[in-house]
Copies of this chain bind each other. A is one copy, B any other.
Amino acid sequence: MQLVAEHIDIGTRSPTVLLNESDAAELGVHALERVQLRWGERTAIGIVELTDELVSEGTLGVTRRLGHIEGDVEVSVAPQPDSVYYIRKKLDDIELEADELSQIVRDIYDERLADVELGAYVSATYTNGLSMEETMHLTESMADVGETIAWEVPVIADKHSIGGVAGNRVTPILVPIVAAAGLKIPKTSSRAVTSAAGTADTMEVLCDVAFSVAEIRDIVGKTGGCLVWGGAVNLSPVDDRIIRAETPLSIDPKGQLIASVLSKKKSAGSTNVVVDIPYGEGAKVESLAEARELAEDFNRVGDHLGMAVECAITNGARR
Protein backbone atom coordinates (compact mmCIF):
# COMPACT_ATOMS: atom_id res chain seq x y z
CA MET A 1 0.00 0.00 0.00
CA GLN A 2 1.34 3.43 -1.00
CA LEU A 3 1.06 6.14 1.66
CA VAL A 4 2.44 9.67 1.98
CA ALA A 5 4.68 10.35 4.98
CA GLU A 6 3.59 13.06 7.40
CA HIS A 7 5.77 13.97 10.39
CA ILE A 8 4.12 13.65 13.80
CA ASP A 9 6.29 14.91 16.63
CA ILE A 10 6.10 12.11 19.19
CA GLY A 11 9.29 10.91 20.82
CA THR A 12 8.48 7.25 21.44
CA ARG A 13 11.35 4.86 22.17
CA SER A 14 10.23 2.50 19.42
CA PRO A 15 9.91 3.40 15.72
CA THR A 16 6.17 4.06 15.84
CA VAL A 17 4.09 4.79 12.75
CA LEU A 18 0.52 5.99 12.94
CA LEU A 19 -1.91 4.46 10.50
CA ASN A 20 -5.45 5.52 9.84
CA GLU A 21 -7.73 2.68 10.96
CA SER A 22 -9.16 1.98 7.53
CA ASP A 23 -5.69 1.78 5.96
CA ALA A 24 -4.63 -0.59 8.74
CA ALA A 25 -7.71 -2.77 8.19
CA GLU A 26 -6.98 -2.92 4.45
CA LEU A 27 -3.36 -3.89 5.14
CA GLY A 28 -4.53 -6.39 7.76
CA VAL A 29 -2.31 -5.05 10.55
CA HIS A 30 -3.19 -4.42 14.16
CA ALA A 31 -1.73 -2.09 16.80
CA LEU A 32 1.82 -3.10 17.80
CA GLU A 33 2.40 -5.21 14.70
CA ARG A 34 5.30 -4.41 12.38
CA VAL A 35 5.21 -2.91 8.92
CA GLN A 36 7.97 -2.74 6.37
CA LEU A 37 8.47 0.81 5.04
CA ARG A 38 10.15 1.41 1.69
CA TRP A 39 10.84 4.93 0.37
CA GLY A 40 13.24 5.59 -2.48
CA GLU A 41 16.09 3.14 -2.01
CA ARG A 42 15.68 2.94 1.74
CA THR A 43 13.76 0.68 4.10
CA ALA A 44 12.83 0.66 7.77
CA ILE A 45 10.57 -1.21 10.15
CA GLY A 46 7.69 0.61 11.85
CA ILE A 47 5.58 -0.49 14.80
CA VAL A 48 1.92 0.32 14.20
CA GLU A 49 -0.35 2.48 16.31
CA LEU A 50 -3.84 3.36 15.08
CA THR A 51 -5.64 6.67 14.78
CA ASP A 52 -8.96 7.81 13.38
CA GLU A 53 -8.27 11.51 13.10
CA LEU A 54 -4.60 12.37 13.60
CA VAL A 55 -3.62 11.01 10.20
CA SER A 56 -6.09 10.72 7.36
CA GLU A 57 -6.48 7.83 4.92
CA GLY A 58 -3.58 7.63 2.50
CA THR A 59 -1.19 9.16 5.05
CA LEU A 60 1.50 7.52 7.17
CA GLY A 61 2.23 9.35 10.42
CA VAL A 62 5.94 8.99 11.16
CA THR A 63 7.19 9.74 14.67
CA ARG A 64 10.45 11.41 15.59
CA ARG A 65 12.66 8.31 15.38
CA LEU A 66 11.55 7.81 11.77
CA GLY A 67 11.72 11.52 10.98
CA HIS A 68 14.12 10.84 8.07
CA ILE A 69 11.27 9.27 6.06
CA GLU A 70 9.90 11.60 3.37
CA GLY A 71 7.44 11.41 0.50
CA ASP A 72 5.79 8.29 -0.89
CA VAL A 73 6.21 5.20 1.25
CA GLU A 74 5.38 1.64 0.25
CA VAL A 75 3.93 0.01 3.39
CA SER A 76 3.62 -3.76 3.74
CA VAL A 77 3.21 -6.28 6.56
CA ALA A 78 6.65 -7.13 7.96
CA PRO A 79 7.57 -10.68 8.90
CA GLN A 80 8.38 -11.56 12.50
CA PRO A 81 12.10 -11.03 13.20
CA ASP A 82 14.13 -14.25 13.59
CA SER A 83 15.23 -13.29 17.06
CA VAL A 84 11.70 -13.93 18.36
CA TYR A 85 12.24 -17.63 17.58
CA TYR A 86 15.54 -17.53 19.47
CA ILE A 87 13.88 -15.90 22.49
CA ARG A 88 11.28 -18.66 22.41
CA LYS A 89 14.14 -21.19 22.22
CA LYS A 90 15.73 -19.64 25.32
CA LEU A 91 12.36 -19.77 27.11
CA ASP A 92 12.49 -23.51 26.34
CA ASP A 93 15.89 -23.57 28.08
CA ILE A 94 17.87 -24.47 24.96
CA GLU A 95 21.35 -22.94 24.72
CA LEU A 96 21.66 -20.24 22.06
CA GLU A 97 24.36 -20.23 19.36
CA ALA A 98 26.68 -17.25 18.77
CA ASP A 99 24.78 -16.16 15.62
CA GLU A 100 21.42 -16.39 17.40
CA LEU A 101 22.59 -14.14 20.24
CA SER A 102 24.13 -11.79 17.72
CA GLN A 103 20.79 -11.61 15.87
CA ILE A 104 18.93 -10.81 19.10
CA VAL A 105 21.43 -8.01 19.86
CA ARG A 106 21.15 -6.69 16.29
CA ASP A 107 17.32 -6.72 16.43
CA ILE A 108 17.33 -4.91 19.78
CA TYR A 109 19.76 -2.37 18.29
CA ASP A 110 17.57 -1.88 15.20
CA GLU A 111 14.49 -1.68 17.46
CA ARG A 112 12.76 -4.53 15.68
CA LEU A 113 11.56 -6.09 18.92
CA ALA A 114 8.33 -5.06 20.58
CA ASP A 115 8.38 -4.53 24.35
CA VAL A 116 6.50 -7.78 24.97
CA GLU A 117 9.34 -9.63 23.23
CA LEU A 118 12.01 -7.70 25.13
CA GLY A 119 10.21 -8.62 28.35
CA ALA A 120 10.33 -12.28 27.31
CA TYR A 121 14.05 -12.01 26.49
CA VAL A 122 15.02 -10.69 29.91
CA SER A 123 12.67 -13.18 31.58
CA ALA A 124 14.20 -16.10 29.68
CA THR A 125 17.78 -15.13 30.50
CA TYR A 126 16.69 -14.63 34.12
CA THR A 127 14.83 -17.93 34.63
CA ASN A 128 17.04 -20.15 32.47
CA GLY A 129 20.35 -18.33 32.84
CA LEU A 130 23.13 -17.85 30.31
CA SER A 131 26.00 -20.32 30.01
CA MET A 132 29.63 -19.15 29.94
CA GLU A 133 29.66 -19.66 26.15
CA GLU A 134 26.45 -17.66 25.76
CA THR A 135 27.75 -14.88 28.01
CA MET A 136 30.95 -14.59 25.94
CA HIS A 137 29.04 -14.45 22.64
CA LEU A 138 26.51 -12.01 24.05
CA THR A 139 29.23 -9.68 25.39
CA GLU A 140 31.03 -9.69 22.03
CA SER A 141 27.80 -9.01 20.11
CA MET A 142 26.86 -6.16 22.45
CA ALA A 143 30.32 -4.58 22.12
CA ASP A 144 30.02 -4.77 18.33
CA VAL A 145 27.02 -2.43 18.05
CA GLY A 146 27.04 1.30 18.76
CA GLU A 147 30.10 3.52 18.99
CA THR A 148 33.57 2.47 20.11
CA ILE A 149 36.57 4.49 21.24
CA ALA A 150 40.06 3.59 20.01
CA TRP A 151 43.12 4.81 21.93
CA GLU A 152 46.76 5.12 20.94
CA VAL A 153 48.11 3.99 24.31
CA PRO A 154 48.51 0.33 25.33
CA VAL A 155 46.77 0.53 28.72
CA ILE A 156 43.30 2.00 29.26
CA ALA A 157 42.10 1.57 32.84
CA ASP A 158 38.54 1.45 34.10
CA LYS A 159 36.60 0.44 37.20
CA HIS A 160 33.07 -0.66 37.81
CA SER A 161 31.00 -1.64 40.82
CA ILE A 162 28.13 -4.05 40.28
CA GLY A 163 26.21 -2.11 42.90
CA GLY A 164 26.53 -1.93 46.64
CA VAL A 165 25.65 0.85 49.03
CA ALA A 166 24.16 3.71 46.99
CA GLY A 167 25.95 7.04 47.21
CA ASN A 168 29.32 5.93 48.55
CA ARG A 169 30.95 7.60 45.53
CA VAL A 170 34.31 5.94 45.06
CA THR A 171 34.63 7.06 41.43
CA PRO A 172 35.26 10.82 41.90
CA ILE A 173 38.15 9.97 44.26
CA LEU A 174 39.53 7.03 42.31
CA VAL A 175 39.64 8.53 38.80
CA PRO A 176 41.99 11.47 39.68
CA ILE A 177 44.28 9.09 41.62
CA VAL A 178 44.58 6.71 38.65
CA ALA A 179 45.07 9.62 36.22
CA ALA A 180 47.70 11.20 38.52
CA ALA A 181 49.54 7.86 38.50
CA GLY A 182 49.95 8.28 34.75
CA LEU A 183 47.25 5.91 33.47
CA LYS A 184 44.41 6.81 31.12
CA ILE A 185 40.95 6.30 32.67
CA PRO A 186 37.94 7.38 30.57
CA LYS A 187 35.20 6.73 33.11
CA THR A 188 31.54 6.83 32.16
CA SER A 189 28.87 6.70 34.86
CA SER A 190 25.11 6.45 34.95
CA ARG A 191 22.48 8.80 36.26
CA ALA A 192 20.17 7.71 39.06
CA VAL A 193 17.93 4.77 38.27
CA THR A 194 16.40 4.01 41.67
CA SER A 195 18.55 6.03 44.09
CA ALA A 196 18.32 9.80 44.59
CA ALA A 197 21.46 10.51 42.51
CA GLY A 198 23.86 8.51 40.37
CA THR A 199 27.58 9.25 40.03
CA ALA A 200 26.89 11.30 36.88
CA ASP A 201 24.27 13.36 38.71
CA THR A 202 26.67 13.99 41.61
CA MET A 203 29.50 15.07 39.27
CA GLU A 204 27.12 17.40 37.42
CA VAL A 205 26.93 19.57 40.56
CA LEU A 206 30.62 20.37 39.94
CA CYS A 207 30.92 20.40 36.14
CA ASP A 208 29.36 19.33 32.85
CA VAL A 209 29.08 15.55 32.34
CA ALA A 210 27.54 15.26 28.87
CA PHE A 211 30.26 14.91 26.24
CA SER A 212 30.68 13.31 22.82
CA VAL A 213 33.26 10.61 22.08
CA ALA A 214 35.52 13.26 20.46
CA GLU A 215 35.28 15.47 23.54
CA ILE A 216 36.02 12.51 25.85
CA ARG A 217 39.16 11.71 23.81
CA ASP A 218 40.19 15.34 24.08
CA ILE A 219 39.62 15.56 27.86
CA VAL A 220 41.39 12.27 28.58
CA GLY A 221 44.26 13.31 26.28
CA LYS A 222 44.80 16.46 28.36
CA THR A 223 44.07 15.23 31.89
CA GLY A 224 44.42 11.45 31.79
CA GLY A 225 40.88 10.85 33.02
CA CYS A 226 37.26 11.93 32.83
CA LEU A 227 34.03 11.48 34.75
CA VAL A 228 31.22 11.70 32.23
CA TRP A 229 27.65 10.58 31.78
CA GLY A 230 27.55 7.33 29.77
CA GLY A 231 24.10 8.14 28.41
CA ALA A 232 25.50 10.99 26.31
CA VAL A 233 27.65 8.57 24.30
CA ASN A 234 26.21 5.72 22.30
CA LEU A 235 28.70 3.13 23.64
CA SER A 236 26.27 0.33 24.38
CA PRO A 237 22.79 1.26 23.18
CA VAL A 238 21.58 -2.35 23.41
CA ASP A 239 22.56 -2.50 27.06
CA ASP A 240 20.50 0.61 27.75
CA ARG A 241 17.44 -1.02 26.16
CA ILE A 242 17.92 -4.30 28.01
CA ILE A 243 18.27 -2.41 31.30
CA ARG A 244 15.06 -0.53 30.52
CA ALA A 245 13.27 -3.91 30.34
CA GLU A 246 15.02 -5.32 33.43
CA THR A 247 14.43 -2.29 35.67
CA PRO A 248 10.63 -2.50 36.08
CA LEU A 249 10.97 -6.23 36.83
CA SER A 250 13.93 -5.70 39.22
CA ILE A 251 15.85 -8.54 37.58
CA ASP A 252 19.52 -8.60 36.63
CA PRO A 253 20.56 -12.12 35.56
CA LYS A 254 24.26 -12.91 36.08
CA GLY A 255 25.21 -13.54 32.43
CA GLN A 256 23.44 -10.39 31.33
CA LEU A 257 25.15 -8.40 34.09
CA ILE A 258 28.62 -9.54 32.95
CA ALA A 259 27.76 -8.84 29.30
CA SER A 260 26.42 -5.42 30.25
CA VAL A 261 29.53 -4.34 32.17
CA LEU A 262 32.19 -5.82 29.92
CA SER A 263 30.58 -4.87 26.57
CA LYS A 264 30.56 -1.24 27.72
CA LYS A 265 34.22 -1.46 28.80
CA LYS A 266 35.17 -3.13 25.50
CA SER A 267 33.39 -0.39 23.49
CA ALA A 268 35.20 2.26 25.54
CA GLY A 269 38.53 0.67 24.56
CA SER A 270 39.42 -0.43 28.09
CA THR A 271 42.24 -2.96 28.48
CA ASN A 272 42.50 -3.25 32.29
CA VAL A 273 39.37 -3.24 34.40
CA VAL A 274 38.77 -3.53 38.14
CA VAL A 275 35.29 -4.79 39.05
CA ASP A 276 34.06 -4.27 42.58
CA ILE A 277 31.76 -7.09 43.75
CA PRO A 278 30.14 -6.13 47.06
CA TYR A 279 28.53 -9.09 48.80
CA GLY A 280 26.43 -9.58 51.91
CA GLU A 281 22.88 -9.53 53.15
CA GLY A 282 20.76 -7.18 51.03
CA ALA A 283 23.43 -6.80 48.33
CA LYS A 284 23.01 -8.12 44.76
CA VAL A 285 25.36 -10.99 45.65
CA GLU A 286 24.53 -12.53 49.02
CA SER A 287 27.30 -15.04 49.74
CA LEU A 288 31.09 -15.07 49.44
CA ALA A 289 30.92 -18.29 47.37
CA GLU A 290 28.58 -16.58 44.91
CA ALA A 291 30.86 -13.52 44.76
CA ARG A 292 33.90 -15.72 44.02
CA GLU A 293 32.05 -17.56 41.27
CA LEU A 294 30.95 -14.27 39.70
CA ALA A 295 34.55 -12.95 39.89
CA GLU A 296 35.77 -16.05 38.07
CA ASP A 297 33.14 -15.61 35.37
CA PHE A 298 34.13 -11.94 34.95
CA ASN A 299 37.77 -13.01 34.52
CA ARG A 300 36.94 -15.65 31.93
CA VAL A 301 34.75 -13.36 29.80
CA GLY A 302 37.40 -10.62 30.12
CA ASP A 303 40.12 -13.04 28.92
CA HIS A 304 37.94 -14.03 25.98
CA LEU A 305 37.63 -10.35 24.97
CA GLY A 306 41.33 -9.62 25.52
CA MET A 307 40.82 -7.53 28.65
CA ALA A 308 42.56 -8.02 31.99
CA VAL A 309 39.80 -8.03 34.59
CA GLU A 310 40.56 -7.96 38.32
CA CYS A 311 37.70 -8.39 40.78
CA ALA A 312 37.67 -6.90 44.28
CA ILE A 313 35.28 -8.76 46.56
CA THR A 314 34.15 -6.28 49.21
CA ASN A 315 31.76 -6.08 52.14
CA GLY A 316 28.40 -4.89 50.80
CA ALA A 317 26.08 -5.85 53.65
CA ARG A 318 23.53 -3.12 54.37
CA ARG A 319 24.39 -2.40 57.97
Contacts and interface: CB of A to CB of B under 8 A. Distances in A.
Contact of A116 (B50, B52, B54, B119): B119
Given A119-B120, A123-B119, A244-B32, A84 B249 contact: yes
Interface stretch (A8-16, A133-141, A305-313): A8-16
B10 A249 contact: no
Nearest to A193: B30
Interface stretch (A87-95, A154-162, A181-189): A87-95
- How many copies of this chain does the complex contain? 2
B12 A31 contact: yes
Which size class do A's interface residues fall under? 35 or more
A247 to B, nearest CB: 9
Contacts of A32: 13, 115, 244
A54 B8 contact: yes
Interface in A173-191: none
A40 interface: no
A200 interface: no
A250 interface: yes
A124 B127 CA distance: 8
Given A11-B31, A116-B122, A124-B127, 12 more contacts: A9-B54, A51-B64, A52-B64, A87-B249, A88-B250, A116-B244, A116-B249, A117-B248, A117-B249, A119-B123, A123-B123, A127-B128
A273 interface: no
A39 interface: no
Contacts of A52: 9, 11, 64
Contacts of A21: 11
User: Max chain B CB contacts within 10 Å: which of A10, A64, A120, A122?
Assistant: A120
